[in-house]
Amino acid sequence: MRDTLTLPPWNIDNLILARFNEAAKNGVYSLQEFFELAGKAFRFIFARPFYGGDTVQQMDEIGVKSLGIVLLTGFFTGMVLALQTSVQLQTFGATQYVGRLIAASMIRELGPVMAGLMVAGRVGSGIAAQLGSMRVTEQIDALNTLGTDPIKKLVTPRLLAALIMLPVLTIINDFAGILGGNVIAKLYVGIPTAAYWRTVFEQMVAGGFTFRYIPNDLIHGLVKPFVFGGIIALTGCHYGLKTTGGTEGVGVATTRTVVTASILILVVDYFITQILLAFLGS
Amino acid sequence: MSDEDDRRAKDRRDPQAPEKGSMPRRAGDSHRVRAAIRDELETLAEAKSDEPAPTPGEGRDPARTVIALENVSLGFDQPILEDVSFSAKGGETIVVVGESGTGKSTILKLLLRLLVPDKGRVCIDGDNITDLTFNEALEVRQKMGMVFQGAALFDSMTVFENIAYPLREHTKLTDDEIEERVREKLSFVDLEPEKVMDQMPAELSGGMRKRVGVARGMANNPEIMLYDEPTSGLDPLTTGTITYLILKLQRELGVTSVVVSHDIRSSFRMASKIALLAEKRIAFFGTPEEMTGSDDKYIREFLGGF
């Protein structure tokens, strides 16, 4: 499938071309593998046998154990947002809008993206390292030999857990952020807590509703982490499962996972926003 | 690659199984147990030389071809195997020997259909397994038990869970029956169920891990056992125990086995037939007696190297 081009070695142009050719082929091949993995992993969500126990265990691993970092980062992001926006708004005498600004940016953008990036670092790397070392120590082959599809046993539970837990983490992150903003708004800017929360809800209403009752802000804020969850789990599994080259390879897989997942999260975030804005109108 | 070289160097440094009486003194029980095992091994080896054809276990048919590779070729960037053929009848043990990097382990992966040959056929129980779908392949693999080089125990599970894994996956046995089966298999590989069942693989020694690997491989009572370098990286005594285990499986249960090894000494003890891989091809396929009797230059050189 991936035969190297045989070209005269003295021709520098051809050498560069050959290298580019090789890199492009590998890239496309890797992409194809990624989508094959993703397709299978999603299909197996609905196919027997189900590994419920593994899924619950992964939900604990991905969700519950990420709670600490998500709360902490959310809280401080909210605090620094309150500080910065209050300074800017002061020039217009509009400091009472701090709550609206924080709510809008946390729920729509920062909550999902921050949670996504933090989980990519914590969980994505963990998945890649675990599956990578299982590959290197032949445990993946052992699973195959014992008549279990490794994708069904290892990838699908992780995917499902990430799809479920990322939106939950995001809501917690949003709340921690708005709470952090609340503390700073009260202590530094002098906005009473009640007034702060009123502006927060005003913002959620101002964004408009879908199906009459669901605030558009929330749709923005919950579609994204769902997609990010898929990205994190699948990137980690993809790089983990195709690890080669011993323990060093495990390190490479881990690094690649974190880098690729983080970039994908930021890029995909833009496009989801664009699409959602086009559909929801605000 | 360097990993492989390391292993080779290590194997060369290790003295082969010591002669009787020259055994290193070790504390208490384990020493006596090992001596007993070694004696038994020798009796087995002697019994083996008396009767050339191994006795099959219940229901195993020595006339039936269980495993067959027919003109198999495989290559990735470079060819690895070319036109490789051999077969094993019920209850036979085929030992595949050869220098490192000649594609010995690849043969096991072909048999398990973890790899598909470019050309040729791989038959298990007379059925061609090369064109199977992924799910059909998972089913065929249940006829086989594999013991990996590094044992490949799942390190997130206890020893019990490791051995119970294939049973829980593919049988409808109750928890009690599974526990009974796990105990039986652990006793078969000379481990005390009470002691090791709740331990994690990381807490075990290399030899114990291998034995748990054997127990897991045979948990489903497979007709075929595959071993990848079962004795590499083990001390001579443990090598003896593992060799004894493989023989025991063959004798008592009539299991057909394929062993990949570069430990020529233990290979001769186990083998019904030996396949020598060289230059991507089978350079020799026959009984150990035929091999020692051969005057082919490469074979002489290969045997002399050990």
Choose between B220 and B49: higher pLDDT. B220
Whether the Cβ atoms of residue A110 and residue A101 lie closer than 8 Å to each other? no
Residue B248, pLDDT > 90, answer no
Answer whether residue B58 shows pLDDT above 50. no
Chain B environment of A148 (Cβ under 8 Å): 138, 169
pLDDT value at residue A236: 95
Which backbone phi and psi does B123 adopt, to 5 degrees?
A: -115, 135
Which residues numbered 235-294 in B keep a CB inside 8 Å of some CB on A?
A: none
B contacts of A149 (beta carbons < 8 Å)? 134, 138
Place of tokens 């992924």: B134
Provide the mean pLDDT of chain B. 78
Could you tell me if B268 and B276 are in contact, meaning their C-beta atoms sit under 8 angstroms apart? no
**Which ranges constitute the DSSP H helices of B112-229?**
134-141, 159-170, 175-188, 193-196, 206-217
Mean pLDDT confidence for B103-128: 86
Which of A234-238, B168-172, B300-304 has the least mean pLDDT?
B300-304
Q: Is pLDDT above 60 for B110?
A: yes
DSSP H or E stretch at residue A201: helix A193-206
pLDDT at A129 over 90: yes
A105-112 average pLDDT score: 91
Q: Residue B158, SS3?
A: coil
pLDDT higher than 50, residue B282: yes
Q: Which residue shows structure tokens 């300074």? A: A87
Q: CB-based contact (8 Å) between B3 and chain A?
A: yes
**pLDDT on residue B54:** 42
Checking if the pLDDT of B56 tops 90, the result is no
Question: Which three-class secondary structure state does DSSP give residue B204?
Answer: coil
- Whether pTM exceeds 0.95: no
Q: Which residues of A touch B149 (CB under 8 A)?
A: 138
Q: How many residues appear in chain B?
A: 306
DSSP, collapsed to helix, strand or coil, labels residue B276 as: strand
Beta strand ranges found along A109-235 (DSSP E): 209-210, 214-215
pLDDT for B20: 41
d(CA B273, CA B284): 10
What is the C-alpha to C-alpha distance for residues A202 and A219, in angstroms, rounded to an integer? 16
Per-residue pLDDT, averaged over A130-154, amounts to 90
Q: What is the pLDDT of residue B173?
A: 85
Range in A17-26, A66-75, A164-173, B288-297 with the lowest mean pLDDT: B288-297
The single-letter DSSP state of residue A65 is G
> How much of chain B exceeds pLDDT 70, in percent?
79
Whether B306 has a pLDDT exceeding 60, the answer reads no
According to CATH, the topology of domain B2-59+92-99+222-304 is: Rossmann fold (3.40.50)
Suggest the residue from A143, A146, A241 to mutate for an interface test with chain B (most B CBs closer than 10 A).
A146
pLDDT given for residue B8 in this prediction: 45
Task: Specify whether the CB–CB gap between B122 and B144 falls below 8 A.
Answer: no
Residue B7's pLDDT band (boundaries 50, 70, 90)? very low
Q: Could you tell me which residues are beta bridge partners of residue B122?
A: B69
Residues 6+ apart with CB under 8 A from A268: A227, A228, A231
Could you tell me if A149 lies within 8 Å of chain B, comparing CB atoms?
Answer: yes
Quickly state the pLDDT bin for B61 (edges 50, 70, 90).
low
- CA dist B111 to B68, B146, B236, Å? 9, 10, 29
Question: What are the chain A neighbours of B141 within 8 Å (beta carbons)?
Answer: 144-147
Cβ atoms A44, A151 nearer than 8 A: yes
Please, are residues B153 and B209 in contact by the beta-carbon 8 Å criterion?
yes
φ/ψ of residue A158, rounded to 5: -70, -40
Question: Taking CB atoms and an 8 Å cutoff, what residues of chain A touch B185?
Answer: none
Whether the CB of B37 is below 8 Å from some CB of chain A: the reply is no
Chain centroid to CA B279: how far? 23
- Highest average pLDDT, of A157-161, B118-122, B134-138, comes from A157-161
Mutate: best of B3, B141, B149, B218, partner A, most A CBs <10 A: B141
DSSP string, B42-83: HHHHHHHHHSSSPPP-TT--TTSEEEEEEEEEEESSSEEEEE
Unique residue bearing structure tokens 């060093």: A248
Q: What is the pLDDT of residues A52-103, one digit of tens each?
A: 888 999 999 999 999 999 999 999 999 999 999 988 888 888 888 888 889 9
Are B150 and A149 a contacting pair at CB < 8 A?
A: no
| Confidence band for B253, pLDDT divided at 50, 70 and 90 | confident
* Cβ of residue B165 closer than 8 Å to a chain A Cβ: yes
